[in-house]
Amino acid sequence: MSELITLTIDGVEIKAEKGTSILRAALENGIYIPHLCDHQDLTSVGICRVCLVEIEGRRPTVSCMTPVEEGMVVTTSSEELDMTRKVNMELLILHHDYDCQNCAKNSYCKLQELTRYVGIDEERISAMRAPALDFPIDDSNPYYQRDMNKCVLCGICVRTCEEIQGDECIDFAFRGIETRISVLGDKPIIDSTCVTCGECVSRCPVGALVPQKAIEPTYEVETVCPFCGCGCNILVGARGGKLVSSTAVEDSPVSGGSLCVKGRYGLSFVNSPERLTTPLIRRDGELVEASWEEAISLISEKLGQYKGDQFATIASAKCTVEDNYVLQKFTRAVMGTNNIDHCARL
């Protein structure tokens, strides 16, 4: 059993596991501390300096990088902290294209959340010397686009690519006011080693990384990805009778909240007008629609004409393990052959 630490945050006594950061301990106990660069799936780096707190007997410190200690007394809001956060937020917004109404992340943006909490003085921002936000939008990837004019340099995408995907496709590039997230050689993302897993897109707190066709679903249903035998849990969103989104289930015991390019972006085939929705059987040389009963009866009749090594089966990775087990059992026990293979091996 993990050792529990007792500390006080804003006058509320809480308990947290030893090694937990002040930020995580506060959030897990319903105490809000504004933060931008921290993500529960990634290591903390303390880049944004928005999660500052005051600890009794110490100078203000970043809560995402400071572990809890026994008897620690923490204050999350004071005149000095609020002013420091406000300045940090103003500098972030100054380097950010905040045309919120035309942004796919509108109302889901972490920067908007922080702005509501901290409060921003537009007169102060307009008096500052704002840099030119004229980076071209990189839409070379067919599934998502990158807009560096909205990037806040939180580094979440960089850590995601390194720690979760292991690709290390992107990193911080250039210096000073020219710093930005880039691939090797500052090329379009399509010319990099990116595998289009979308993990960075799903974690980006602002509109710098968004799907190419972001459509808000009417409702979502939890199901299993149909592409391989891993069985990753996904949330598919539907709208107007069409599938419009696919996201990972965060606490999935199979995928741990991650998806590959197929699971995240490859389900559009469901909406194809060419997709078969009923069995087809051949009559007089033409494929015509039939009921499942007719199709199964025809298959049963035809299979009776084959025996032993005249018959072979190709199993599918889109089937469940149980379905593939039954198929191999049918092949060996009923059809009397070991001629069975699997598409994932080909």
Q: What are phi and psi of 94, to 5 degrees?
A: -60, -30
Tens of pLDDT along 61-75?
999 999 999 999 999
How far is residue 266's CA from residue 246's CA, in Å, rounded to a whole number? Answer: 9
3-state DSSP call for residue 301?
helix
What CATH number should be reported for the domain holding residue 107? Answer: 3.10.20.740
Higher pLDDT, 92 or 288: 288
Same-domain pairing of 246 and 338: no
Average pLDDT over residues 258-280: 91
Handedness of CA 258, 260, 261, 267 (dihedral sign): negative
Residue 199 counted as domain residue: no
Residue 182 counted as domain residue: no
Which residues constitute the domain of residue 265? 215-275
Q: Which of 81, 101, 127 is the last residue of a domain?
A: 127
pLDDT at 105 over 80: yes
Tens of pLDDT along 280-306?
999 999 999 999 999 999 999 998 888
Q: What is the total count of domains within the chain? A: 3
pLDDT at 9 over 80: yes
pLDDT at 346 over 60: no
Residue 181 counted as domain residue: no
Averaged pLDDT of the chain = 92
The burial class, CB within 10 Å (0-12 / 13-18 / 19+), for 300 is exposed
- pLDDT of res. 1: 59
Helix and strand totals (H; E) in the chain: 9, 16
Q: Which of 275, 298, 314 is the last residue of a domain?
A: 275
Tens of pLDDT along 190-207?
999 999 999 999 999 999
- pLDDT of res. 169: 95
Name the strand (E) or helix (H) holding 323: helix 321-329
Q: Which of 127, 154, 169 is the last residue of a domain?
A: 127
242-248/280-283 β-pairing: unpaired
How far is residue 29's CA from residue 26's CA, in Å, rounded to a whole number? Answer: 5
Same-domain pairing of 225 and 314: no
How far is residue 147's CA from residue 139's CA, in Å, rounded to a whole number? Answer: 9
Residue 20 counted as domain residue: yes
Residue 186 counted as domain residue: no
CA within 13 Å, CB half, 7:
28
Residue 345's pLDDT band (boundaries 50, 70, 90)? low
Is pTM beyond 0.75? Reply is yes
